[in-house]
Amino acid sequence: MSATDVKASVLHAATDVRIETRPLPVPSQGEIQVAVQATGLCGSDLHYFRHFRNGTIQVREPLTLGHESAGIVVAIPSSGSPFQVGDRVALEVGLPCEQCELCLAGRYNICRGMNFRSSAKAFPHFQGTLQERINHPAKWCHKLPDTLTLEHGAIVEPLSVAMHARDRASITPGSTVLVLGAGAVGLLCAAVSKVAGAKTVVIADILEDRVKFAVDNGFADAAFTVPIPATRPETIEDKLAYAQDVAAKLKALQVAGAENGVGEAAVTFECTGVESCMQTAIYATQPGGKVMIIGMGAPVQTLPIMAASLKEVDLVGVFRYANAYRNAIDLLASNNPLFPDVQKLVTHRFRGLENVPAAFDTAAKVKDERGELVIKVMVDMTA
């Protein structure tokens, strides 16, 4: 078998996406070739698309985006592959060095030598999955059971983020969990917290429709719409006062079985990256609790550290995932009655590489032109 020409969506500048053809060699030993069929669009992809950068990471060469993906095996090496042509796989697209002390300790997600598809952090960039086919190490491909769809396979990636955060949180059964931010990852954090035995899962967002979606579809038990102040706080004192007020309202939230309000959270998942939400998280978390820092927003923030210190609230960083893909697939296939139908997160679908710009335009919106809520946008590349 010779090299194959494949079409790819390639970002050349902010919002400048072009379909190009590139050669794809036969898979080498240890690799498999996968026809990418389903790719969910992530917030980091959207930042690259709109700004040609993600935070401080600047794109330095044409880049194919996409990393929440699943597909079908179309070619394998001549011998020794654990896969067969036709297998459906979820793609774990971060490749660590596998030799450093972090990798050897099982924390490969924070390997200093990590190459991650669709990220511009490493150079040359590791090209993403919004292309017809890729060669990928078999070790980082995970077979999907027949009961799961390829969209499930794409959702494994953000679900793995949530499961990694849950594992680092060590949720105690019967506890109260607060989730700030009702995007896809926040909704999945809420869902896995219920599976972990949380008694009450509260989800909060400035958008009422998002938190209503969470409760109506079984992702959370209680919803709180964060009030937007009439005048935006400007001073540090006013910002902290606002965060304290939001935390007080959250603690007083009425839920079944809690006459005096839901109270403080044992674990708070902060999924927005917004400074006021991080401040609120600290105030809303109980003594000895944990704030899981998942959202990637403002890189420099003013936080009430003394409030965290006096309560011994742990601020725990969460970056991607490690050793979570197989567990995420097993959870998706488990029919656990506490786990909601995560395919409901996919609110919009676009077909083919030519519609990638339109997919990104929709992913940037809170609601589409019909007024429908936008949560997860999926690019479908099935034939």
Residue matched to tokens 């044409």: 62
376 and 304 within one domain: no
Please check whether residue 306 lies inside any domain of the structure: yes
pLDDT score for 55: 82
Residue 100, SS3 per DSSP: coil
pLDDT score for 85: 97
Q: In this structure, what is the dihedral angle of CA atoms 316, 317, 320, 326, given to the nearest 10 degrees?
A: -20
pLDDT, tens digit only, all 383 positions of the chain: 578 999 999 999 999 999 999 999 999 999 999 999 999 999 999 999 999 998 889 999 999 999 999 999 999 987 778 999 999 999 999 999 999 999 999 999 999 999 999 999 999 999 999 999 999 999 999 999 999 999 999 999 999 999 999 999 999 999 999 999 999 999 999 999 999 999 999 999 999 999 999 999 999 999 999 999 989 999 999 999 999 999 999 999 988 777 778 999 999 999 999 999 999 999 999 999 999 999 988 889 999 999 999 999 999 999 999 999 999 999 999 999 999 999 999 999 999 999 999 999 999 999 999 999 999 999 999 86
Please give the residue range of the domain that contains residue 309: 159-317
pLDDT score for 79: 78
Residue 152, SS3 per DSSP: helix
pLDDT score for 78: 78
248 and 203 within one domain: yes
pLDDT score for 81: 85
pLDDT score for 356: 97
pLDDT score for 144: 98
pLDDT score for 297: 83
CATH number of domain containing 37: 3.90.180.10
Using an 8 Å Cβ cutoff, are 67 and 42 in contact? yes
165 and 49 within one domain: no
272 and 353 within one domain: no
Instruction: Point out which residues pair with 72 in neighbouring strands.
Output: 35, 88
| Residue 143: partners with Cβ closer than 8 Å, 6 or more residues away | 83, 87, 88, 89
Using an 8 Å Cβ cutoff, are 93 and 115 in contact? no
48 vs 58: CA distance, rounded Å: 8
114 and 196 within one domain: no
Please check whether residue 323 lies inside any domain of the structure: no
187 and 311 within one domain: yes
138 and 168 within one domain: no
CA-angle at 109, arms to 171 and 280, nearest 5°: 45
Structurally, how many domains does the chain consist of? 2
Please check whether residue 32 lies inside any domain of the structure: yes
pLDDT score for 383: 67
291 and 165 within one domain: yes
Q: List b or e across 312-325, with b for residues whose CB sees 16 or more CB atoms inside 10 angstroms.
A: ebebbebebbbebb
pLDDT score for 260: 79
Tell which of 317, 332, 354 closes a domain: 317
Edge to edge, the sheet with strand 314-317 lists: 222-225, 200-205, 176-180, 265-270, 285-293, 314-317
192 and 77 within one domain: no
125 and 23 within one domain: yes
168 and 281 within one domain: yes
